[in-house]
Amino acid sequence: MIKKFVYSQKVAPYVFVLPFILIFLIFWSYPLANSFVMSFQDRMLGQDPKWVGEANYSKLFTDKVFLTAIKNSVVYMLGTLVLLIPFPMLFAVMINSKLMMGREFFKSSFFLPALTSVAVAGTIFRLTFGEMEGSLMNSFLGLFGVEPIKFLKNGEWSMAALLILACWRWTGVNMLYYLSGLKSIDNEYYEAASIDGASAWQKFKNITMPLLKPTTIYVTTISVYAGLAMFTESLMMFNGNNSPKNIGLTIVGYLYRQGIEKNKLGYAAAVGIVLLVIAMVINLTQLKFSGMFKKEED
Amino acid sequence: MGASQSKNNLIARIVMICFFIVLFVIIMIPFYAVALSSFKPGESLIRYGLNLSLDFKIMSFDNFIYLFTGSHDYFTWFWNSMFLTIAQVVLTLFVSAFVAYGFAAYDFKGKNFLFICVLLIMMVPFEILLVPLYSLINDLHLVNSYSAIILPGIANAGTIFFFRQYLRSIPKEIIQSGRVDGANEYAIYFRLIMPIMKPSFAAMAILNGMNSWNNLLWPFMVLGDQSKFTLPIGLKTLLTPYGNNYDLLIVGSFFSIIPIFILFIAFQRYFIDGMTAGAVKG
Amino acid sequence: MKKRSTLVSIVTILILTMVLSACGKSDDSKTTTQLGANAGENATELSFWTFVDLHGKHLDKMLGLWNKENPDKQIKLNVSVMPYDDMHNKLLLAVTSGKGAPDIADIELGQFPKFLEGDNVPLEPLNDVFAPYKDVVVPARVAIYSKADQVYGFDYHVGATLAFYNTEILEAAGVDYKKIITWEDYKQAGIKVYEKTGKYLGTADTSAMWQESLLLAQQKSDFTDENGNPKVNSPEMIKALEMLVDLQKNNVIHTIPGGQPDTEEAKGEYNKGNYASALMPEWYMSRFVNEMKDLKGKYAIAPLPVFEVGNPRSVGLGGTGTVVTKSGKNVQLAKEFVAFAKLSKEATTEIWNTLGFDPINMDVWKDEKVTKNPDNEYVQYFKTNAFDTLNEIKDEIQAIKSVKASPTIGNVLNTVTLNAIFEDGKDVKEALDEAQAAIEQELK
């Protein structure tokens, strides 16, 4: 009887998606709801929770350190968007060009940095951007007579260092995304354009870019996600969550500091909810403007 | 006309190749610096910074000898990472593909809602749940166990999404013919569909494997016991002014890249497929 | 057909449960360093978390003695060494949630108040095992780990601040370190050193508060008032930092890679001879001996300079309390062992011999057989004997309170304020007022 029920074509789909439903309920919905409840409490592990209303939120919006964290995360995210979309797209188009040689070689070697873990890559870059005369970046700049720079004690420089780390790791990956997008563009378009006498730039602007839009939407979505959620890169770069003047503090870093380091679960939960709202708003707006929803409906 | 065209092409070709060679060199510098530094005493690295100087006076194989013969936990971490990566990949792929088939092969009530949930998870940073998830894991008595790392990601949204896209291209006739042959729904999946999904399994195995091998934040929060640390956590713990383990840090970092490099070179195509698989044609 | 698919699903479910249960078993195959080689089969297994490798080694030695003396109460110790931040974060989560905590742990002084917050302190009071040692131990070093008359931790050292001078550089500049009595003397000496050698006499620290602490202690002040409320913009604090800024402007002190002397980068700078003095707690001796080997025979130890003669010349700084957690398996045994390993004469002598710390058991300070032992590497390394200076300032050692607000104060000063002052040249009063506001906001 049970067997018949489970084997029926009506029930089978639910059996297939059951694992997802369970995981979604237990490890997403429940913690998320819990997080929401906690954000209205003064709560510490091992102590009884106290209801405090919206106090955590009103404190958050006057918390200068939190505002610094938001600023850092948003600047980092925008930085990755500016650097990790146009350039990889351009590189992909170049590699895809008939004139290019050693395609496979460059494709693979640009991908290599993505294989290193943040723990390893962050340490490498921390030492590269050391403030000593002999560390890689300073010894390079020294060739041009530049005095040693304290990269990781200065806001702009350390943001640059974090962005360079991101570029090093992800340029190759994003380039591959664009390459696979290019594969699906029909060559006929280019041939037709050539007959009309279009220049290379016109072809790129009028054919390649619009047809790569789905890829761009995808890359933008994951970059927004990854940019706003960045934490371990900064953790490794500054060898801890406490950077000078909080120049490396991100939203997740602040969540970690409040929730894990200080055991202020309620306050940390509020940080998480704010991050959730920011991420949803940015991504939904982005998807709306790029017309993604219309597409889903077809 | 033809001659100047081909001359232009030649120049463009040379410029492009030079440009890519420069990019290649820049990308390789950090690898070269780490490889070089693994022959230098770890202490000098922290004190003088990571650099490209070839100083044979201070360079030796000592770090490598220490890595393979010294008393430390490096290889425990290494095998932990291996075990965890393999377990995580096998289980995640099995469950995610199973779920994806449900989304791809059937129309059922609530399907759209559930699929929006999948997309939602893909858009929400997992990190916002760090604190409540930690207390949940705590309540379930899973702290310090690998289940705490595997379970929350076992029905991985990105992986489900990818498999579902892949499955959409499989003709429905296969399913129909299976039903005609009298196979039940699950037999159709396991015996007819799963074999066709092989290439997508390879791609996802590699993508999930990479993420798992390099994962730091969550494992680091739930694992407390040094004997259970994974490689990234272990390497992170070496970065402490109280332990004097810098010798192991760099050579260990260098060595941790090697297995994944070898895998990459052997299965290059699948790596690249796996990565690009995410960017689905809209 | 049907049979096979059922088989497949059964097998997969089986594999699934097997793998998951294998993952779930938490206490099998231990490869954590296990100490207590001489322990018998009936030994109790205890776990210990620390962030200092050497602390584990010290407990190992004590364990050998303990197991020999107490054959009926033998112990095996599983030691996990983790980085500073990580260990404290994990320990806090583990003890407050009551799950996954070790039996014994090291907690650094600056982190200690976090563990004493609230009504249910998750640590065991150690008063009963402390009682036998009450009269020989420096009281101030016990008070900082106490709450409402309950003692929760035993320290490794007093951490009395001293001045360490590189006599080679000072002689080259024509400076006699013995004549440096006040901060004005220090400044004049530093100006001379910079003019003659181009080197800096000391450091302007941006990531630690050793100097602020010792300057406050000299004025009999603190970071907090008697109710535990922060007062980092007090006149004493302003005076202290303005003096440091004045030293920085005169090239007497200078910022150092790493941000403070006790970092790997900074030790490298010292070892290269780029800085001529360190004003640090006594335990910095061990960093000299173990990590700045090129400086052997060059350094001398003296009391700190003061604002005016008569100011107390030292303060106990830094420290790590070894605690016993409430959720441990054998709390009483753990307590007895910790007291033995941290307070007994044997243990504290060993702490000086191997770690080079000034132990909190004062009996050791008086025992010249121990303190002047010519075979001791900490005696050999320095031009003067540390205990000559320590015994001279013994009655002047102050304490800086460690209260609920302390971790926040440390966090704000070490990440923001000191960087703003010494790296960006921000006005002292303004920076401190901002710090006070930030700390109050954070504590709200």
Q: What is the pLDDT of residue B276?
A: 62
Q: Do B20 and A95 touch (CB under 8 A)?
A: yes
H/E stretch holding C332? helix C331-343
Q: What is the pLDDT of residues A240-261, one digit of tens each?
A: 888 999 999 999 999 999 988 8
Amino acid B241: pLDDT: 59
Task: Give me the mean pLDDT over the C70-92 stretch.
Answer: 87
* pTM for the whole structure: 0.87
Q: What pLDDT does residue C57 have? A: 85
Whether residue A78 is predicted with pLDDT greater than 90 in this model: the reply is yes
- Provide the pLDDT for residue C42: 79
Q: Reduce the DSSP state of residue A64 to 3 states and report it.
A: helix
Residue C344 confidence (pLDDT) above 90:
yes
Tell me the mean pLDDT in the region C107-129.
90
Indicate whether A31 pLDDT > 80.
yes
Rounded-to-integer distance, Cα A43 and Cα A85, Å: 42
Q: Work out the end-to-end distance of chain B between its first and last CA atoms, rounded to an integer number of angstroms.
A: 41
pLDDT in tens, A163-172: 999 999 999 9
pLDDT of residue B273: 67
3-state secondary structure of C427: coil
Query: Backbone dihedral region of B122: left (phi > 0), alpha (psi from -120 to 50 degrees) or beta?
Result: alpha
pLDDT for B282 equals 36
Q: Is the pLDDT of residue C108 over 80?
A: yes
> Residue C142: which region, alpha, beta or left (left: phi > 0; alpha: psi -120 to 50)?
alpha
A140 contact partners, CB below 8 Å, separation of at least 6:
none
- Nearest chain B residue to C266 by CA distance is B47
Mean pLDDT of B131-150: 88
Q: Looking at chain B, which residue has its C-alpha nearest residue A111?
A: B272
Q: Give residue-wise pLDDT tens across range B100-124.
A: 999 999 999 999 999 999 988 887 8
CB contact at 8 A, C400 and C191: no
pLDDT at position B220 = 86
- The whole-angstrom separation of Cα C206 and Cα C414 is 6
The pLDDT tens digits of the residues spanning B222-251 come to: 887 778 889 998 888 877 656 557 788 888
What's the confidence (pLDDT) of residue B121? 86
pLDDT for the residue C22: 43
Which residues in chain C have their CB less than 8 angstroms from residue A245's CB? 415-416, 419-420
- Give the residue on A whose Cα is nearest the Cα of B149: A27
Q: Which architecture characterizes domain B72-238 according to CATH? A: Orthogonal Bundle (1.10)
Q: How confident is the model at residue C33 (pLDDT cuts 50, 70, 90)?
A: low
- Longest Cα–Cα distance in chain B: 77
More confident residue, B242 or A24: A24
- CA–CA separation, C279 vs C256, rounded Å? 14
Average pLDDT over residues B33-56: 82
pLDDT-derived band of residue C304, with 50, 70 and 90 as boundaries?
A: very high
**What is the rounded average pLDDT of the residues C234-246?**
97
- Please state the rounded mean pLDDT for residues A141-164: 92
Most B-contacting residue of C3, C6, C8, C19 (CB-CB within 10 A), to test interface: C19
Q: What whole-number distance in Å separates Cα of residue C223 and Cα of residue C154? A: 23
Give A187-226 pLDDT, tens digit per residue.
888 888 888 888 888 888 888 888 888 889 888 888 998 8
Task: Say yes or no: A44 contacts chain C, CB-CB below 8 A.
Answer: yes
pLDDT, position C28: 33
Examine the pLDDT at C194 and tell me if it is beyond 80: yes
Q: What was the ipTM of the complex prediction?
A: 0.86
User: Taking residues A121-131, what's their average pLDDT?
Assistant: 89
8 Å CB contact of B227 and C20: no
Fold of A57-297: MetI-like fold (1.10.3720)
More confident residue, B55 or B97: B97
Domain ranges of chain A: 57-297
Look at residues C83, C150, C138, C139 and name the one whose alpha carbon lies nearest to residue C111. C83
Q: So where are chain B's domains?
A: 2-68, 72-238
As a whole number, mean pLDDT of residues B270-274 equals 68
Least confident of A270-279, B235-244, C363-372: B235-244
Which of C97, C416, C442 minimises the CB distance to A46? C97
CB-based contact A170:A230 (threshold 8 Å): no
Residue C88 distance to chain B (closest CA, Å): 11
For residue A298, is pLDDT > 50? no
In angstroms, the CA B182 to CA B177 distance is 9
Dist CA B199 CA B204 (whole Å): 9
DSSP class of A150:
-
Residue A134 confidence (pLDDT) above 90: no
Residue B75 has pLDDT above 60, yes or no: yes
Give the pLDDT of residue C53: 81
Confidence of residue C328 (pLDDT cuts 50, 70, 90): confident
Q: Given a cut of 50, is residue C26 above it in pLDDT? A: no
Q: For residues B195 and A294, which has the higher predicted lDDT (pLDDT)? A: B195
Q: Kindly state the average pLDDT of the residues A17-21.
A: 94
Q: Given pLDDT bands bounded at 50, 70 and 90, which one contains residue C25?
A: very low
Integer Cα distance of B209 and B159 in angstroms: 12
The answer to whether C411 contacts A65, with C-beta atoms less than 8 Å apart, is no
**In this predicted structure, what is the pLDDT of residue B259?**
78
pLDDT of res. A294: 53
The shortest C-alpha distance from B238 to chain A (Å) reads 11
pLDDT above 90 (res B147): yes
pLDDT for the residue B243: 56
Question: Between residues C161 and B248, which one has the greater pLDDT?
Answer: C161
The distance of C108 to chain A (nearest Cα, Å) reads 14
Closest-CA residue to C277 (of C373, C379, C185): C185
**Is A201's Cβ below 8 Å from some Cβ in B?**
no
Q: Is the pLDDT of residue B277 over 70?
A: no
Inter-chain CB proximity A59 and C122 less than 8 Å: no
Q: Give the model's pLDDT for residue A287.
A: 81
pLDDT level of residue C2 (50, 70, 90 thresholds): very low
Give the per-residue pLDDT at C152: 96
pLDDT(C115) > 50 = yes
